[in-house]
């Protein structure tokens, strides 16, 4: 791989800048989760409507990610990064200003666009850092994009308790402005000789398909009360995704190189990310909801939003530790085997939650196990994909992986909600404790699939490179 060196002053700032920007966009996009109840109270809307402050960010991020990935493969990557961060800052301002609820949703959508920058940060690292160092940095970028949620949750919850929902969103405005300044000071120009054209038709069809997928993931009542309608919309979503694949195959400048995605290593890695993403967000949903369930339900701890957010601290801390350790372990263990081992660790988090959740300390332990597994999984994932990806296509290849991850997260959250809703008896406010065990068993199944997929990747890799 050929690196394109940057000036000494830029090189000194580049790595921390890449980490900071990836952390900020992930944390800001996740701000909707701990604030849903506060938003519903402040704006006098239903919890279902308030849930869209999270869903709309995931949607805009899922759509923006492949578009930005394609722009990142071209000569105007620096301009794309700065323009995207400017959009995120503008959206952050909308969430703080005393405007109606519709403007809050618009602001959250603009903030979600920043999720597409993670893949661009990887492209910058691969282009401008030596090969050995770029691999480690790309792994850490992948990790901080995950643990950003754990950083944002408790801070946002604390600010919401102290100063209301506007104060919590004010945190997003401050850090995104800092990220924009950091990018302006440190982001180098892309190497010359590249071109990138955005497939507008492909972007529109993908946006429509993802809108339906995330809508179906977020509207849990639709599945329980209008199953036929939900199933029909699911069929439409599948058809749109098939149309999108056809459009991409016929396009001379596809949004995502679908033919490259068919490579066994890339296809297997994306399948592992999809199912692993479902499991990851399922356990996050279960633990945070269990922690906040009042004692009157016969279980739970009745934690405040802020204290419940602190349960995510072990997730972020051990996720970062795993991310730091993974580059060293990769010298001895192949990336697909690391994926498999990390999936087993995440499965262990499910087992721990299913078997022991009578004390808060056990929830902290389960979160720590989950974080360590997710950190290792996220750090190893780029290596599997980039090993068979051209350097110029780094941003585009990783952007598709992050779209898959976003959809997996949304489905994981929805599956958790559906299982708990099914376990809630007539007239009850909270599900039976056994519903959490059922959901944990589903998570164990998901991580088993992820482990087997990763082992299959490892076997194929060993056969190809004996």
pLDDT digits (tens, 9 = 90+) for 183-205: 999 998 877 656 667 778 888 89
Q: Are 140 and 26 in contact (CB under 8 A)?
A: no
Q: Which of 20-29, 161-170, 191-200, 340-349 is predicted least confidently?
A: 191-200
Q: Are 408 and 281 in contact (CB under 8 A)?
A: yes
Residues whose CB falls within 8 Å of the CB of residue 39, separated by 6 or more in sequence, listed in order = 32, 45, 50, 53, 101, 104, 165
What pLDDT is recorded for position 466? 53
In this chain, the answer to whether the domains covering 1-196 and 256-466 adopt an identical fold is: yes
Query: Which CATH number is 1-196 given?
Result: 1.20.1250.20
Residues whose CB falls within 8 Å of the CB of residue 404, separated by 6 or more in sequence, listed in order = 270, 273, 274, 277
Quickly name the fold that domain 256-466 has: Growth Hormone; Chain: A; (1.20.1250)
**Closest alpha carbon to 208 in 244, 232, 249:** 244
What pLDDT is recorded for position 424? 85
What pLDDT is recorded for position 3? 53
Q: Which of 21-35, 101-115, 267-281, 329-343 is predicted least confidently?
A: 21-35
Cβ neighbour number for residue 111 with a 10 Å cutoff: 32
What pLDDT is recorded for position 162? 86
What pLDDT is recorded for position 289? 83
For the chain, give every domain's residue range.
Answer: 1-196, 199-254, 256-466
Q: Which of 25-29, 189-193, 248-252 is predicted least confidently?
A: 189-193
What's phi and psi for 333, nearest 5 deg? -125, 135
Compute the average pLDDT of residues 150-166.
82
Q: HSE-up of 434 (CA within 13 Å, CB side)?
A: 4
Q: Reduced to 3 states, what is the DSSP secondary structure of residue 4?
A: coil
Q: Does pLDDT of 249 surpass 60?
A: yes
Distance CA 24, CA 75 (A): 25
Distance CA 224, CA 226 (A): 6
Q: What pTM, to 2 d.p., does this model score?
A: 0.81
Distance CA 299, CA 339 (A): 34
Q: Are 396 and 256 in contact (CB under 8 A)?
A: yes
Distance CA 363, CA 352 (A): 9
Q: Does pLDDT of 380 surpass 60?
A: yes
DSSP string over 50-100: HHHHHHHHHHHHHHHHHHHHHHHTSTTHHHHHHHHHHHHHHHHHHHHSS--
What pLDDT is recorded for position 1? 47
Distance CA 91, CA 202 (A): 25
């Amino acid at each position: 791989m050929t690196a394109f060196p940057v000036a000494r002053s830029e090189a000194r700032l580049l790595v921390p800048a890449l980490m900071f920007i990836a952390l900020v966009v992930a944390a800001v996009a996740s701000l909707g989760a701990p604030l849903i109840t506060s938003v519903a109270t402040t704006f006098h809307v239903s919890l279902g409507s308030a849930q869209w402050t999270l869903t709309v960010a995931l949607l805009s991020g899922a759509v923006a990610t492949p578009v930005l990935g394609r722009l990142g493969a071209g000569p105007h990557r620096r301009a794309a990064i700065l323009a995207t961060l400017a959009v995120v800052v503008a959206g952050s301002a909308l969430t703080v200003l005393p405007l109606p609820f519709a403007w809050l949703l618009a602001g959250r959508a603009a903030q979600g666009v920043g999720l597409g920058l993670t893949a661009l940060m990887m492209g910058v690292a691969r282009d401008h850092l030596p090969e050995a160092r770029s691999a480690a940095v790309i792994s850490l970028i992948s990790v901080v994009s995950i643990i950003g949620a754990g950083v944002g949750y408790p801070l946002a919850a604390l600010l919401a308790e102290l100063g209301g929902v506007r104060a919590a969103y004010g945190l997003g405005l401050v850090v995104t402005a800092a990220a924009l300044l950091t990018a302006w000071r440190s982001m180098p120009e892309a190497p010359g000789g590249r071109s990138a054209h955005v497939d507008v038709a492909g972007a529109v069809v993908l946006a429509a398909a993802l809108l339906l997928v995330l809508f179906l993931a977020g509207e849990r009542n639709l599945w329980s009360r209008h199953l036929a309608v939900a199933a029909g919309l699911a069929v439409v979503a599948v058809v749109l995704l098939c149309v999108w694949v056809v459009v991409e195959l016929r396009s001379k400048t596809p949004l995502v190189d679908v033919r490259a995605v068919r490579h066994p290593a890339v296809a297997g890695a994306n399948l592992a990310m999809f199912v692993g993403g479902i499991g990851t967000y399922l356990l996050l949903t279960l633990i945070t909801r269990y922690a906040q369930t009042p004692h009157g339900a016969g279980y739970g701890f009745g934690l405040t939003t802020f204290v419940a957010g602190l349960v995510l601290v072990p997730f972020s801390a051990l996720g970062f530790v795993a991310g730091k350790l993974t580059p060293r372990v990769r010298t001895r263990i192949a990336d697909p085997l690391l994926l498999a081992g990390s999936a087993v660790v995440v499965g262990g988090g499910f087992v721990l939650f299913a078997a022991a959740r009578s004390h808060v300390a056990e929830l902290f332990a389960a979160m720590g196990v989950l974080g360590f597994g997710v950190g290792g999984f996220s750090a190893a994932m780029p290596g599997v994909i980039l090993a068979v990806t051209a350097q110029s296509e780094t941003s585009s290849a990783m952007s598709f992986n992050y779209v898959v991850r976003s959809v997996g997260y949304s489905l994981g959250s929805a599956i958790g909600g559906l299982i708990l809703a099914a376990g809630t008896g007539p007239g009850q406010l909270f599900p039976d404790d056994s519903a959490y065990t059922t959901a944990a068993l589903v998570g164990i199944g998901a991580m088993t699939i992820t482990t087997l997929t990763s082992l299959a990747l490892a076997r194929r890799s060993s056969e190809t490179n004996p």
